[in-house]
Chains A and B, each alone.
Chain A
C-alpha cells in the first residue's frame, strides 16, 4: 500500500454515498438540520468556526416555522395572564413571571462592554433560530442571545442578570426534545457554543476535561485519534454539546454498556445564579468527601446552574465491533432475545435497540437512501445487537453462534450481520433515523418513558386501540435499558388526539411505576407532570434546592418543576 490510499478514498467519496454518508442527503427538506446527522468533520475545521453555533446550523429553520406556531409570548414586560400554547403538550395557561425585569438599553450596553459587540446577538435570523426548538414545537420570543467565551464571562452574565432579575435560558446545541432549551417568554438566551476547548486529555487514566460547549461529535473524533471513545452516543451528536448532554443526563445508544453520566462524569465546573463558580472539576474516580454536589447538576436541565466545564471518564476504543440487524415476529421474542443476549454475550454486548414495523416503515418512506436490510416482506419487530470487544475473530464467532442458535430456537425470524463499517452505518442509520423520519412525516407527539421491559410494548398497543386510525402510533427505543420512545405521528397537531393521549400515557406509566422521562428530561413539556413519577416529598425537596441555589428563580424558569411551586 502506498500514499494513494488517502487520495483514493477521497476521490471515491462518491462511492456509497447512500451508505456511509447518507447523512448529508437528508437535509433536502430541512437543510438546517444537517448538523444533527453530519458525519465527522475535521475537528480543527469545526472548532475554528466561531459562527457555527447559530447561524450556520439553523438559518433555514426560519422557513419552516412561522405559520404553525402560536406563540403568545411576545408580551415581554406585561404581567397579565395569557394562554401560552405549545404543541408539545396539553394546553396550559402560562403567565410570564411578573417579577422578572425586561431588557433595556443599559443592559445591552453593559453586555457589549463586557462580552464584546460580536457576542451580544440581536440579529433577527439568529434570534429566531435560538428561540425555536429542534422539533419546531416550542418558540420563545427572546430578543437577546449572549455568547460567553469563558467561565468568568458566564459568571459575570449570571451575576448581572441576577442582580437585575433578568431570567435566562442556558442553551447548548438546542437539540433537546422537551422544550427546555428555548425561552418561554423573553428570557435571555445564553449559548455555550463558544466554549469549545478541549482542556486536557490523560491517556493513562482515560480522563477528558473540556469546556461545556464542545460538540459531542467533535469530542468523538478527537478521542478517536487518541484511541478512545465517548461513553455516550446519540443521534443528535453532530449538534448537541457535552454540557447539554450532562444537563439532560442524556442516555443514548451505548448506555447499556457504559452506563449513566452519573457514573462517567467525574467532575464539573458550574456557575450558580449569583455568579458563584463551583469548582467540582475533579478527575478522581473515587472521592467521598461530603455530598457529591456535581450530581445535582447532572440532569438538572439548566435550572440550578450553568455547566461550564466537564471532566469525563472515557473508555478505550476496542478494535472489534460487530452489528446485527434482526427481525423478530413478536414482542415476546424481542424480550427473550434480550434476556439471552445478556446471558450469552454479556461481556461484549454494547447495544440492544429495537423498532417496530411502523417505525421501519417511516424510515423507509421518509429518509433518502435507506434500504430495508431484510426484504422483501416487513417484519413486526427489528432489533439491533451490537457487540464491542477486543478480539475480532472470537467476538464474531461468538455472536454468530449466538444468532444462529437464536434463529434455530425461533427467537429471530431473519437477520443480517454487517460485514464492514459501511453496512454497520446503514443499519444504525435506520435506528437513529427514526426521530428524523417522524419529523418529516408531519406532526408528532413524543413520549420518552422508562417501563418494565415486559410491559413496555403493551402501552404502544393500548395507544393504538385508543387512537384508532386517526394517528400512527410507533414504538422504538433502547430496549436493553427498558426505555421506550412512544411517538404519535399525524399529519397535523390535533387537540382531540392530544386529549386522548394525555394524561392517559402518564397515568399508564405511573400505574406501572415507570418514569415519564427516561432520558430527555422534563423541560417545559413535562414540568407540571413530575408528580406522575415523583412523590410530593421528593418534589418539595427539589423545590427547596432550587430556591436555595437560585432564590430569584432566574435560571430556566417555567421548566423542570411545576411553576406553581417555584414562583
Chain B
C-alpha cells in the first residue's frame, strides 16, 4: 500500500511575521522558511504506518516555487521514500492545490492521502476537505489517533471535537487531516539525511497535470493586528473602578 503526504513550505512557526509596507502580503524575503508543523505530523503518521509494516511506500508532495525542494528534502530526511514537486510561481489557493493533488492521486494511486489540518500561513483549513470532495473519498479530519486495519481495508480515526472525541471508521481509500496531538514528529538524523540525498524528487508542472491555476479570491489588504497597549498601574481600588467605568466603560 502506498501513502501520499502533502507538505507545505511556510514561514517558520517561530519567526515574527512582518507585513509588507505596501500591505499586499507578508514579508518572505530573507525569512526562515520551514515545513508546516501540521504537515510534519502528517508525514510522521505516514512513516509510522509504513514502519508498522502496513504500508510499503510514503510519497511526499509539495507545490510551489523551486525552494519547495528544500522542504521535500526535509521530508525525505525524515524518512519519506520519494518526493514529487509541482513547480509553479503562481499563488496557490486551496482549491488549486486540491485539484493538483487529485491529479497526482490519479497518477500515483495511493490508498491513503494525509494532509495537515491547516497551514500556519493562510490558516485556510480547506485543502483536505476539498480534495476528499473532488476524489469522492471519505475523510477523517483533525485526526488525533489513526488506526489502520489492512485486512478490512479500514481506517479508524479519532477526532477532537468540542466536548470530547468522535471516532470514525473510513473505508479505503481515504483522506486524513492531522491535528496537533496525533504524534510527535521525529528529527532528521544524519544517516537519514545522507540517505535522502539519493532519493528521487520528480517534477511536474500544473499544465502537465492538466490543472489550470486560477483563483476566485482576491486579497484586498493585509494588515497587522492592532498593537496591544501596555498596561497601567493604578494606585487604588477607587482609581481602578473609575477607569473601568469611565475609560473602559465595562462597568
Interface residues of A (CB under 8 A from B): 1-9, 12, 14-16, 20, 42, 44-45, 48-51, 224, 319, 321, 326, 371, 373-374, 392-393, 400, 403-404, 407, 412, 414-423, 425
A429 nearest CB across to chain B (Å): 13
Given known contacts A224-B16, A319-B32, A421-B14, A416 and B122 CB-to-CB distance under 8 angstroms = no
> Could you pull out 30 A-B pairs where Cβ atoms are within 8 angstroms?
A1-B11, A1-B25, A3-B221, A4-B122, A4-B123, A5-B26, A7-B225, A8-B118, A8-B120, A9-B13, A9-B17, A15-B13, A16-B37, A20-B14, A48-B230, A319-B32, A373-B187, A374-B189, A392-B32, A412-B190, A414-B189, A416-B187, A417-B77, A417-B190, A419-B74, A419-B77, A420-B35, A421-B12, A421-B14, A421-B32
CB-nearest residue of chain A relative to B122?
A1
B35 nearest CB across to chain A (Å): 7
**Contact call A1/B231, Cβ cutoff below 8 A:** no
Contacts of A416 in B (CB 8 A): 187-190
- List 6 additional contacts besides A45-B230, A407-B194, A417-B77; criterion CB under 8 Å: A16-B13, A224-B16, A319-B32, A403-B190, A414-B189, A415-B189
**Contact call A3/B37, Cβ cutoff below 8 A:** no
CB-nearest residue of chain A relative to B219?
A2
Contacts of A3 in B (CB 8 A): 19, 221-225
CB-nearest residue of chain A relative to B190?
A415
Given known contacts A419-B77, A419-B187, A423-B187, A6 and B231 CB-to-CB distance under 8 angstroms = no
Contacts of A12 in B (CB 8 A): 120, 180
Residue from A7, A8, A45, A393 within 8 A of B70 (CB atoms): A393
A487 nearest CB across to chain B (Å): 27
Contacts of B233 in A (CB 8 A): 50-51
CB-nearest residue of chain B relative to A10?
B225
B121 contacts chain A at the CB level, 8 A cutoff:
yes
**Contact call A42/B12, Cβ cutoff below 8 A:** no
Contacts of B198 in A (CB 8 A): none
Complex: A421 Cα to B32 Cα, angstroms: 8
Contacts of B188 in A (CB 8 A): 416-417, 419
**Contact call A420/B34, Cβ cutoff below 8 A:** yes
Complex: A418 Cα to B188 Cα, angstroms: 7
Contacts of A224 in B (CB 8 A): 16
Given known contacts A16-B37, A422-B13, A1 and B190 CB-to-CB distance under 8 angstroms = no
Complex: A44 Cα to B231 Cα, angstroms: 10
Contacts of A417 in B (CB 8 A): 77, 187-188, 190, 193
Complex: A419 Cα to B221 Cα, angstroms: 32
Contacts of B19 in A (CB 8 A): 3
B161 contacts chain A at the CB level, 8 A cutoff:
no
**Contact call B35/A9, Cβ cutoff below 8 A:** no
Complex: A49 Cα to B14 Cα, angstroms: 25
**Contact call A6/B17, Cβ cutoff below 8 A:** yes
Contacts of B190 in A (CB 8 A): 326, 403-404, 407, 412, 414-417
Complex: A341 Cα to B123 Cα, angstroms: 41
**Contact call A404/B231, Cβ cutoff below 8 A:** no
Complex: A321 Cα to B15 Cα, angstroms: 13
Complex: A3 Cα to B221 Cα, angstroms: 8
Complex: A415 Cα to B194 Cα, angstroms: 11
**Contact call B189/A421, Cβ cutoff below 8 A:** no
Complex: A418 Cα to B61 Cα, angstroms: 21
Give 5 closest A-B pairs by Cβ, nearest first: A420-B34, A421-B14, A416-B187, A8-B123, A48-B230
A369 nearest CB across to chain B (Å): 11
**Contact call A2/B35, Cβ cutoff below 8 A:** no
Residue from B37, B221, B231 within 8 A of A48 (CB atoms): B231
A10 nearest CB across to chain B (Å): 8
Given known contacts A1-B121, A44-B230, A415-B189, A14 and B180 CB-to-CB distance under 8 angstroms = yes
Given known contacts A2-B222, A6-B225, A420 and B14 CB-to-CB distance under 8 angstroms = yes
Q: Which of B211-238 contact A (CB under 8 A)?
A: 219, 221-225, 228, 230-231, 233
B232 nearest CB across to chain A (Å): 9
* B interface, size bucket: 35 or more
Complex: A44 Cα to B194 Cα, angstroms: 45
Residue from B120, B187, B219, B230 within 8 A of A5 (CB atoms): B120
Per-residue CB contact flags for chain B residues 177-209 toward chain A (1 = under 8 Å, else 0) read 000100010011111011000000000000000
Complex: A450 Cα to B223 Cα, angstroms: 51
Among the interface residues A9, A44, A48, which one has the most CB atoms of the partner chain B within 10 A? Answer: A9
CB-nearest residue of chain B relative to A7?
B225
B246 contacts chain A at the CB level, 8 A cutoff:
no
Complex: A329 Cα to B166 Cα, angstroms: 48
CB-nearest residue of chain B relative to A225?
B16
Complex: A456 Cα to B35 Cα, angstroms: 40
Contacts of B184 in A (CB 8 A): 371
Among the interface residues A7, A400, A420, which one has the most CB atoms of the partner chain B within 10 A? Answer: A420
B52 contacts chain A at the CB level, 8 A cutoff:
no
B210 contacts chain A at the CB level, 8 A cutoff:
no
Among the interface residues B13, B118, B223, B231, which one has the most CB atoms of the partner chain A within 10 A? Answer: B13
Contacts of A418 in B (CB 8 A): 187
Residue from A16, A48, A400, A421 within 8 A of B15 (CB atoms): A421
Per-residue CB contact flags for chain B residues 127-162 toward chain A (1 = under 8 Å, else 0) read 000000000000000000000000000000000000
B31 nearest CB across to chain A (Å): 8
**Contact call A6/B224, Cβ cutoff below 8 A:** yes
Contacts of B11 in A (CB 8 A): 1, 5
B67 nearest CB across to chain A (Å): 9
Contacts of A16 in B (CB 8 A): 13, 37
B175 nearest CB across to chain A (Å): 22
Contacts of B16 in A (CB 8 A): 224
Complex: A403 Cα to B192 Cα, angstroms: 12
CB-nearest residue of chain A relative to B69?
A393
Complex: A167 Cα to B205 Cα, angstroms: 76
CB-nearest residue of chain B relative to A406?
B190
Complex: A16 Cα to B230 Cα, angstroms: 27
**Contact call B122/A5, Cβ cutoff below 8 A:** yes
Given known contacts A3-B223, A45-B230, A319-B32, A404 and B17 CB-to-CB distance under 8 angstroms = no
Complex: A1 Cα to B17 Cα, angstroms: 11
Among the interface residues A2, A321, A425, which one has the most CB atoms of the partner chain B within 10 A? Answer: A2
A415 nearest CB across to chain B (Å): 4
**Contact call A422/B120, Cβ cutoff below 8 A:** no
**Contact call A422/B122, Cβ cutoff below 8 A:** no
B14 nearest CB across to chain A (Å): 4
Contacts of B14 in A (CB 8 A): 20, 420-422, 425
CB-nearest residue of chain A relative to B14?
A421
Complex: A404 Cα to B34 Cα, angstroms: 22
Contacts of B13 in A (CB 8 A): 9, 15-16, 20, 420-422
